Structure formats: C-alpha cells, structure tokens
Amino acid sequence: MDKLQEFYTGKPWRTLTYKLKVERGGRCERCGYRPAHFTNLIGHHKEHLTEYNVDDASVSLNPDLIEIICHRCHDEEHRRFGHKSRVYIVYGSPCSGKTTMVQDIMKKGDIVLDIDALWNAVTYANDKPNGIRFNVFRLRDCLYDQIKTRYGKWVDAYVIGGYPDKYDRERTAKELNAELIYCESTKEECMERFYKSGKPEAWEGYIDTWWEKYTS
C-alpha cells in the first residue's frame, strides 16, 4: 500500500473527516447536497496531496485545507479520461470498521464485494449458517472472476473480508492483482463494537476465531 492510501485509510484522517462532517452540517460545501448518511460525503484536500507532503500535518490534516463534498462533486474534481481500474482488498477482524472505511473512500462507479453483506443477502440472517457456505463461496468466486478479468464498466473495486490467514490473503491479492489494506483495530475495540451492535452472539466467536488465526 502506498503512502497516500495508507494515510486515507488511517485513523487520524477518518476521525478528522467525521468531525468536519458534523461541524459543517452534514452537507456538501460545493453544491449544498445534504445526504441521509455521512458516508455519502468525503473529505477533499484543496491542496493536492502527494507522497511528499502527506506527512506534513499542516497540509494533510489542516481543516482549513479540507472541503467536505459529495461523491458527485468529488468525481467531477478527480475523474480523468483514461483512469485505470484498481482493486483493493480491505481486510481485518469482524467489527473492525472495514465497511465504514470503504464507504468513506469509495466513489461513484466503484464496485464493492463485501463478504459479510453477501452472507446476509443469501440468508437474510446476521450470522453464517455452515450449510450455506458453499453457496456463498460460489457467488463470491463468480464476482472474483469478474473483478479479476475487469469485466464490466466499474472504476475501482473493493473486496471486503476477514482474510486472517496471510497466505490466503496474499494469494487472493495476487489472483486479483489487488493491493491489501488492513483495517487497523484491536480485539478489544472489535468486541466493544460487537456489544453495541446488536449482532447475534455468534459474532463474538467470529471475532475470537479471527484473532486466533491472525496472530498464529
């Protein structure tokens, strides 16, 4: 992961932009659009951020140099003819904030394969019945193939999953020609989010299992 991607997925940037969204009324500062959810707004640097100035907090984390804008305005600002599609695998523990991270950085026209959301779409349940895993994995692999072959007219792609095993995630990243992004967290933070989430008790086990595999 390059320095800019590491910055945009890090906690200081995510914390600051959420704070600015609240302070500035939850609306786009360019067109005035007020979405129902903050995830439809994004922080935009007025001064172009590069690998040379990203470590300068007076530039990268300066509220005076950051606009809160909607995805449409951000697309108009950044999209250029000839953009090459990129693929990212966002991995981490259950309840680590992976989906929220992607919602904060994705743009209109991107494709998202969220493994947990796929389970939910197939089962209408908030857990993962063992007998259905092969059906879910078959659908996942179908979408993997579309991303691998760059099938369709999407811009960038985000694959969200646990991937606690280093070999498995690196193999998948190689197959998809993707960059890996780790959603930084601690087990304690994930458990705290779980207790507040209302998710079924099975999720406590999912978190325990993930950290056992990740640290082994």
Residue 90 pLDDT greater than 60, yes or no: yes
Overall domain count for the chain: 2
Domain hosting residue 34, numbered range? 1-78
Q: Residues near 122 by Cβ (< 8 Å), separated by ≥ 6?
A: 132, 135, 136, 139
Residue 133 pLDDT greater than 70, yes or no: yes
Residue 104 pLDDT greater than 90, yes or no: no
**CA gap 91, 161 in Å, rounded:** 5
pLDDT tens digits, residue range 11-21? Answer: 999 999 999 99
**CA gap 133, 84 in Å, rounded:** 33
Which of 78, 95, 113 delimits the end of a domain? 78
Residue listed under structure tokens 């500035």: 24
Confidence (pLDDT) at 81 = 39
- Based on the domain organization, do 102 and 191 belong to the same domain? yes
Mean residue pLDDT across the chain: 89
- Based on the domain organization, do 13 and 120 belong to the same domain? no
pLDDT tens digits, residue range 158-197? Answer: 999 999 999 999 999 999 989 999 999 999 999 999 999 9
